[in-house]
Chain A
């Protein structure tokens, strides 16, 4: 079964600084998708960024970018110029190509310090 591991339960960052959240996963599939979701105190899960495993280029969405290392099964999220609104739980998620169910990590709580 696929597993997703987030080894950092909590992280903090100064406003305007950069922070990297870690995620590793285990799978025997060669093609799959990886996602980062943000869950603020309102509890609404918000898609931050996605990465297709067949793409070597790392995905980027404005201040958010990933470092995808397929061989190492690593998928970290970098948040640049951190803002107070970035404070939330961040979940890394995996999805295979043949099914629509997501496997989530345990999450990293990010605190942004003014």
Chain B
């Protein structure tokens, strides 16, 4: 079974721009969670989608948003990028409330 895939793997954006990251979960997994990893703040939960509905949300500003499609693929969007948004963004999929399996991440650099 194919693992979690994330695209793109690397991204460089300029302050003020917006960005969309994509995540395809393991086949059959309906839950997709997003995490931000930075050297200063560590790993922080952004939000979780299940069956196209946001089920849980971390403590991030409204510039961070996401959605999930009927095939369980998920996207997250960050608008009005700031330098502090530079991070590794990890996506994880799971069967409902089971172990989470992570993708390789998207490394976002904001200049």
Q: Which residues from chain A sit less than 8 Å from chain B, CB to CB? A: 35, 37, 42-47, 50, 91, 97, 99-107
User: Which residues of B lie under 8 Å from residue A43 when comparing CB positions?
Assistant: 88, 104-105, 107
Q: Which of A43, A100, A103 has the most CB of B within 10 A?
A: A100
How big is the B interface, by class? Answer: 20 to 34
Given contacts A101-B48, A102-B45, contact A35 B99 (CB under 8 A): yes
Residues of B within 8 A of A103 (CB): 45
- Closest A residue to B31 by beta carbon equals A100
B94 within 8 A of A: yes
Are A104 and B42 closer than 8 Å at their CB atoms?
A: yes
Which chain B residues lie closer than 8 Å to A104 at the CB level?
A: 42-44
Q: Is the CB of A44 within 8 A of B33?
A: no
Which residues in A have their C-beta under 8 angstroms from that of B102? 37, 44-47
Whether A102 touches B104, Cβ cut-off 8 Å, given contacts A43-B88, A45-B90, A91-B43, is: no
